[in-house]
Structure 1
């Protein structure tokens, strides 16, 4: 018997936010790019949105959490994962990553990158 795994994801969600460890980063802000991926066993194939993860919800979660200034990107990612699990407790995996474009450091740096992955105990 076959076993299906389904992925629902958003890639390259672009945001401007005030995240950063240093006070000046929280004043001037920066551009960020977020990827969010979920994996789960499908609840069915009845062509109903209630049986899957709605990527509109994922987008809302990202945009809402990006509004809350944090020192560490890891904190933002953890908050996003917590909201996804709360809304969709059946997910087996949630992976979220964030790029901070042109981080304020000496040299030419395209982006910094942080990724956090949640895996259910099931």
Structure 2
């Protein structure tokens, strides 16, 4: 029999934040959408929250890092990955992405997009 993989995720978390490379972006802010997806081998299915990833914790991580103004979205995402791994070292894969809605540049742009993927060495 094959191995089970479990996914716990939050998708389309909407935030307003002050991230941006340029000083004016850090003053006026922007709207963002964050996805955070974890994958791991389940320890069991006995209704014990300690045997899984609590998506309330994922939400707390997203919201705290979105309040922590950074120039680069890559930094924000890397910080999120570090916090997830600190809480849940058994997680094997993390995909975290962020969309900056209507980035301030010429043209009509729906969103910019940055994604980081962590994969354990095991």
**TM-score with structure 2 length normalisation?**
0.99
Counterparts of 1:34 and 1:43, CA distance in 2: 27
Equivalent residue number for residue 82 of structure 2: 82
Runs of 5+ consecutive residues of structure 2 not aligned to the other structure: none
Equivalent residue number for residue 2 of structure 1: 2
Deviation at 1:96, TM superposition (A): 0.1
Equivalent residue number for residue 29 of structure 1: 29
Runs of 5+ consecutive residues of structure 1 not aligned to the other structure: none
Q: Name the Cα RMSD after superposition.
A: 0.5
Deviation at 1:20, TM superposition (A): 0.2
Counterparts of 1:43 and 1:30, CA distance in 2: 39
Q: What is the correspondence of 1:19-58 to structure 2 with a 5 Å cutoff? A: 19-58=19-58
Counterparts of 2:43 and 2:63, CA distance in 1: 26
Equivalent residue number for residue 107 of structure 1: 107
Counterparts of 1:98 and 1:28, CA distance in 2: 18
**TM-score with structure 1 length normalisation?**
0.99
Superposed CA deviations along residues 44-102 of structure 1, whole A, max 9, x for unmatched, are: 11111111000000000000001110000000000000000000000000110000000
Number of residues of Structure 1 aligned to a counterpart in Structure 2: 122
Counterparts of 1:88 and 1:27, CA distance in 2: 34
Equivalent residue number for residue 67 of structure 2: 67
Aligned residue for 1:15, secondary structure, equals strand
Deviation at 1:2, TM superposition (A): 3.0
